[in-house]
Chain A
Amino acid sequence: MGLIEVVVLLIAPLLAGGLSLIIHRSALLHAINLTSLSLLVASEIMITRTVLIDGPFTALGQFVYLDALSAFILFIIGAVGLACSFYMRSYMDEQIARGVIAPGRLNLFFFLFHMFLLAMVVATVANSVGVQWVAIEATTLTTTFLIAFWRRRESLEAGWKYLILCSVGISLALFGVVLTYYSSLHVLGDVSEALNVTQLLPVADRLNPPVLKLAFIFILVGYGTKVGLVPMHSWLPDAYTEAPAPVAAMLAGVLEIVAVYAILRMRMIADHALSPAFTGGLLTLLGFASFVTAAFFILIQHNYKRLFAYSSIEHMGVAMIGFGVGGPLGTFGGLLHLMNHAFAKSMAFFAAGNIHRRFHTVEIGQVQGLATAQPWTAMALMIAGLALSALPPFVSFVSEVQVLSALATEGVAGLRFTNSSSLVTLALTDQFCSLWLTGLFLLCAVLAFSGLLYRLTGMVWGVPPEGIVRGETWTLGHLPIIVLAAALVGFSFLLPQPIRQLLDQAMQILLLH
């Protein structure tokens, strides 16, 4: 059941990556790229269908485990990946035409891109927590050269920072995996499947709580580095600024979400042995740290790519608060927010890539009159900006309000838990606390909203500087922008039935486990 789809899912990027190394014609490379991504999306649709009808399944001898949650993550990987492939068609060709990259290096680019995709797919479908770790470390290794692809001083610096910080973070996560294995061995015995989610979940309540507590903290910090949660975020703005636009879109849109997924998987196991209040409290804490810090940093940015980078940190914070607060509303809102962020942020980076190619600067102050110079891009930038500010009628408004109302009604599980025992929090009753946190959430949302829109409107209106070509010709790269914009608006009115079902089931998995 579902075997062929899973095989296609794994073979398509592998084969495309291999072919990318030996083929030299740019048109062929793009054709392979689009074919591979289309196959990926097609098999994901089939998998989603299987999961929705028959429930979770394992394939390839317990190696692959798929349920609604992983199918949902796969859907985001495929959607954003396909959008990036369309965008790359015009983007990369123009870079070669301008002589920014040698034509020969296009092979390397596509090879790394496909290996990156493969690593993310493996991280999502892997049954074993250990294999998932290997795949997530592989994403670091494949993307570091993509980030440093321009080979300028700044990009080398960003790539090095990314490699070192993420590798260290990920090493800490490996310690968490070792500890998980340590606790599961006592229950399951010395079997090589003792790290498999399918084996761990049924016995999770018998795992040793102190070990699992330590393991969860290590994994949260480790994969949290990859998500870019404050205070492990310092690599993120540099990497997003220096990476080529399609790569930045993939990093912001997909990689972060895969790392969030790894944390959620671990949490499902940890929650059985520990109280959900412990894991939820930690997630909320990191979520708020990211949300608040990023909201203030958004205000002082003068570089539009860094602006989007901090906005990524902010939105991951919102999603983490959603998962941390929990309950049906918070979890659903968190999941929906992941998808909205992936769509809006990849669109924002596509627009940023277009602007950079025309204006040759990342300074907000030097970009003016975008509406005259590049009307399509200006529209895309505004739509992405409004969606990232979580305004109606965009679907990100819906998810942020869901997280907010969950926070206001449910309160923070971790604080509720410590109330009874701790003297320090005695004064902070449930309601009082959630009231303050709700207020803080609203304040930061407003800060982020005003910071983002103030900067972006400054870029869109006015008169373009001297020497900037006016007018924009239609390319294939505009297609994904329009589709993503339509999805961002359309989904808030009518969430397609399969996606809604997928989200519902993924939420059930996270709630009940």
Chain B
Amino acid sequence: MQISSHIGSQLVDLCSALLLLTCFAIVAQRRLSACVDLFALQSAFLVLTAALVAFLTGNHHIYIAAGLTGLIKVIIIPRVLKKVIARLNVKRELVMNVNVPAGLLICGALVMLAFFITQPILPLGFLLTRDSLAIAFTIVLIGLFTMIARQKAVSQLVGFLVMENGLFLGATAATYGMPLIVELGVFFDVLIAVLIAGIYTNRLQDAFDSVDTSHLTVLKE
């Protein structure tokens, strides 16, 4: 039992680390469609982590959340985003507010910051998923950073979704999932948010002939 829980903990750590790794890949990737693919991959790792936690702890309601993640974040949302990108005239992020090497360095610093902040609260957690909470916080921070560093509406959206993945990992790691009604509500909100944002990118494309949010400067002081 001791050994199996030790291996289980290692496996969960490995999966969470893979999630973090895809985060770095997203920060380094300029092509919009590749960013979406990486997001789908990250969500797949998230499903794996959640399923692993569900299996190891016997909390069956996590399977439901994992299944929904698979359906919404691995299949539906990437498809919606791919459709949006297909309609756009720009496929690559040409101008970034922060260049790739600097961005990666900042993300490295964010990892340290997140581990530093979560240090006092980690001992409270379950042994199995203790480090995952810190990783989840890191992913939230990197998602936030991506939204600031990128200018294209689609990559900002990917940043937002990465944040959501971090939150879901956090909820799974820290508490073995939220109450089911909250979990369902969150999924619903995220799905609607992406659909709405998809409609927006189309309208922005029509109105500004670009989805570069740096063009959104009509409203100023």
Contact string against B for A residues 210-246, beta-carbon threshold 8 Å, 1 for contact and 0 otherwise: 1100100000000000000000000001100110000
> Complex: how many Å from CA A192 to CA B204?
42
Could you list some 10 contacts between A and B, CB below 8 A?
A: A148-B200, A152-B207, A153-B208, A159-B200, A178-B171, A178-B174, A182-B124, A195-B178, A195-B179, A238-B219
Partner of A128, one of B144, B179, B192: B179
Q: B: which residues have CB within 8 A of A?
A: 59, 117, 120-121, 124-125, 133, 137, 140, 144, 147, 153, 156, 160, 163-164, 167, 170-171, 174-176, 178-182, 185-186, 188-189, 192-193, 196-197, 200, 203-204, 207-208, 213, 216, 218-219, 221
Q: Which one of A153, A158, A193, A297 has the greatest number of beta carbons of chain B within 10 Å?
A: A153
Which residues from chain B contact A238 at a C-beta distance below 8 Å? 219
B197 partner residues in chain A, CB cutoff 8 A: 163-164
In the bound complex, CA of A210 to CA of B133 (Å): 15
Q: How far is the CA of A164 from the CA of B125 in the complex (A)?
A: 32
Q: Which of A134, A160, A185, A210 contacts B216 (CB 8 A)?
A: A160
| A183 interface residue per 8 A CB criterion | yes
Size category of the A interface is 35 or more
Chain A residue at smallest Cβ distance from B170: A178
Asked if A164 and B171 make an inter-chain contact with CB atoms under 8 angstroms apart, the answer reads no
Is there contact, CB below 8 Å, between A134 and B147?
A: no
Judged by a CB distance under 8 angstroms, whether A190 is at the interface is yes
Which of A141, A171, A194 is B163 in contact with, Cβ under 8 Å?
A171
Q: Is the interface of A mostly helix, strand, loop or mixed?
A: helix
Residue from the list B160, B170, B204, B221 in contact with A175, Cβ < 8 A: B170
- Verify A158–B219 contact, CB threshold 8 A: yes
Contact partner, A210, options B121, B170, B196, B203, Cβ 8 Å? B121
Inter-chain CA distance A175–B171, complex, in Å, is: 8
Q: Which of B186, B196, B204, B219 contacts A134 (CB 8 A)?
A: B186
- Interface presence of A256 (CB below 8 A): no
Residues of A within 8 A of B175 (CB): 178, 181-182, 185
SS of B interface (majority): helix
Assuming the A-B contacts A153-B218, A178-B171, are A163 and B178 also in contact, with contact meaning beta carbons closer than 8 angstroms in the complex? Answer: no
Contact at A163–B125, with CB atoms within 8 Å? no
User: Which residues from chain B contact A190 at a C-beta distance below 8 Å?
Assistant: 59, 176
Selected contact of B200 from candidates A134, A137, A160, A192, CB within 8 Å: A160
Given A157-B219, A163-B197 in contact, is the A137-B189 Cβ separation under 8 Å? yes
Residues of A within 8 A of B153 (CB): 160
Q: Is the CB of B204 within 8 A of A174?
A: no
Q: B147 contacts A164, CB within 8 Å? A: yes
Q: How far is the CB of A390 from chain B (nearest CB, A)?
A: 24
Name the A residues within 8 Å of B147 (CB-CB): 164, 168
Determine the residue in chain B with the shortest Cβ distance to A184: B175
When distances are taken between beta carbons in the complex, the residues of chain A under 8 Å from B174 are 178-179, 181-182
Contact of B179 among A130, A183, A300 (CB under 8 A): A130
Contacts of B120 in A (CB 8 A): 210
The interface residues of chain B lying within 8 Å CB-to-CB of A138 are: 189
In the complex the two chains form, what is the Cα distance from A174 to B193 in whole Å? Answer: 15
* Nearest 8 pairs of A and B residues by beta carbon: A134-B185, A130-B182, A192-B179, A182-B174, A137-B189, A238-B219, A157-B216, A210-B120
A164-176 to B contact mask, C-beta < 8 Å, 1/0: 1001100110110
Starting from the known contacts A148-B203, A156-B200, A157-B216, 14 additional A-B residue pairs (CB-CB under 8 Å) come to A130-B185, A133-B182, A133-B185, A134-B185, A163-B196, A167-B160, A171-B167, A177-B178, A178-B167, A178-B170, A182-B125, A192-B179, A192-B180, A214-B121
Cα separation A117 to B180 with both chains bound (whole Å): 24
Contact A144 B196 (CB under 8 A): yes
A145 CB within 8 Å of chain B: yes
A405 at the interface (CB under 8 A from B): no
Q: Which residues of B have CB within 8 Å of A242? A: 219
Which residues from 139 to 157 on chain A have a C-beta closer than 8 Å to any C-beta of chain B? 140-141, 144-145, 148, 151-154, 156-157
